[in-house]
Amino acid sequence: MQPLSGVTVLDFSRVLAGPMATQILAELGAEVIKVERPSIGDESRCFEPQLPHGESAYFFAFNRGKRSVTLNLKDPRGQEIARGLARKADIVVENFLPGTMDKMGLGYDGLALENPGLVYVSSTGFGQTGPYSARKGYDTIFQALSGIMWLTGHPDGPPAKAGIPVCDLTSGLWIVIAALTGLAGRGTDGRGCHLDLAMMDVQTSLLALAAARLFALDEDPVRSGTEHPGRVPSAAFQSADGGWLHISASDQHWLPLCRVLGLEELSADEALRSNAGRLAGRARVMEALREAIAGREHGPLVEALRAVKVPVGKMNTVREVFDDPHMLARGVVGSFDHPTEGVFPALRTPLRVSNAGSPEISTPPLLGADTESILKENLGLGEAEIAELRTTGVI
């Protein structure tokens, strides 16, 4: 039994943030019913890279463990079926533009009349209110608007996007937080709620440290590459054999770092023994460190620094991450057996639950694979009714 066993999620979301969130809920035990368009499905089913039998690796990454039902939500009968499913759901997740679900009779106010305990999470670009609420947006747009892109890259270069879709991924985590908050909150009186979650708000919340600097110093933060704006040294360095490593040293690590690198002149300077002093002397410190590290071999240097407890990390490629012995020991990669694509690797949910074990890696659904069984189980429809719905394009 996983922690969310017995919880039913009706998932109207598409592409990344919403599907990521509902996959997490599914792998923690919830039953997730994914509502998709007939014949087309979630548009991410068409995203690259495509696998040999036409499935999408992108779709596989965020839709494991769900049941797929196809519904034409523009058809009144499709809308009525969706309302029937919502009457039995604990959580609804949707990421349409504000007002879209209301027009289909699937907004929170209407559904809550028949299911007062419903927890309804609306994840949109800019929220349900405000002058931008009707705008569409994508991950990189939010990276630009939120200041994340402005802060990413090197000081002498242009702004850069993060190497992962950080806005979508963090919004997905906040959808999970919202859903669990709603579930916990209804324990007092049994009533659910509508949770308004804007991707732009989520990204702005990630500026906590940058905002603190702005508020404290009235200083607009700028790009700093791999360097930490408030700690020296905390940066990436290249070694003699071309390898990269990242060192992040506090005051207690400063003298051991200098000893390993043979920087007696720096270690003898009393002013550099505090982070404030090293911040003031950043240029001198960084130049000396770069020169010293450029003359050392990567592997032995990393080991020497670890031996004196200086925080250091080898800079891995993505492939190297999955060959790392610690990651192998933690079992971060598993697999599922898909009916058309066969055995396919997948990342495990990182949560480990003491009394339930690691959540299983489940298989992503084929489009509409569960339509018939869901309509029978949840709404009591018969074979003839289902066949008529299929013939007329409702499912």
Which residues are catalytically annotated? 168
SS3 (DSSP) at 214: helix
In degrees and rounded to multiples of 5, residue 137 shows phi and psi of -160, 160
| Other CB atoms within 10 A of residue 139 CB | 21
Quick one: which of 204, 15, 23, 165 has its CA closest to 95? Answer: 15
Written in H, E and C, the secondary structure of 106-161 is CCHHHHHHHCCCCEEEEEECCCCCCCCCCCCCCHHHHHHHCCHHHHCCCCCCCCCC
Q: How far apart are CA 233 and CA 35, in angstroms?
A: 50
* Dihedral sign of CA atoms 277, 279, 285, 289 in order: positive
How would you classify residue 281: left for phi > 0, otherwise alpha for psi between -120 and 50, otherwise beta? Answer: alpha
Distance between CA atoms of residues 57 and 42, nearest Å: 13
282-321 burial code (b ≥16 CB/10 A, e <16)? eeebbebbeebbeebebeebbebbeeeebebeeeeeeeee
CA–CA distance, 95 with 161 (Å, rounded to integer) = 23
In terms of DSSP bridges, do strands 244-248 and 312-314 run parallel, antiparallel, or are they unpaired? antiparallel
**Spatial distance between the Cα atoms of 281 and 260, rounded to a whole number of angstroms:** 20
Place of tokens 């499905």: 41
Residues 209, 215, 217, CA angle at the centre, nearest 5°?
100
Phi, psi of 235 (to 5 degrees): -165, 170
- Are the beta carbons of 193 and 168 closer than 8 angstroms? no
